[in-house]
Amino acid sequence: MIRTLVVLIGAAVLEVAGDALMRRGMETRSWMVAAGALSLVVYGVIVNKGGLDFGRLMGAYIAVFFVVSQIIAMIFYRQLPAVRTIAGGALIIVGGLTIIS
């Protein structure tokens, strides 16, 4: 279980970072687009090392992805989640925990 959680967190960081690099690269630097694409490819490999069947894997991953994306949005973009985002996110997290239990 801990191994799967670590893999999912690593995959989420790579996916969110890949998207952020693509976004920044399209605005300013083309090398960031390439770095973002590489990050997204590595994410795809890592997320599938989680050891769960695909449906459970994606259900759990979405919850982890939500948490990581909110943390990165706060740190790098100075965006605090709205109350509705937190409420919806809580439902996502409960759903993820239900899927893996």
pLDDT above 80 for 90: yes
Number of domains making up the chain: 1
Q: What is the reported pTM?
A: 0.81
Question: Nearest CA to 9 among 76, 70, 65, 52?
Answer: 65
Residue 36's domain comprises: 2-100
| Phi, psi of 61, deg, nearest 5 | -65, -40
Q: What is the DSSP letter of 52?
A: S
DSSP 8-state secondary structure symbol assigned to residue 94 = H
**Count of Cβ atoms closer than 10 Å to residue 53 Cβ:** 8
Q: Count other Cβ atoms within 10 Å, centred on residue 63.
A: 22
Structure tokens, 90: 């809580």
At 45-86, the pLDDT tens digits run: 888 776 668 888 888 889 999 999 999 999 988 999 999 999
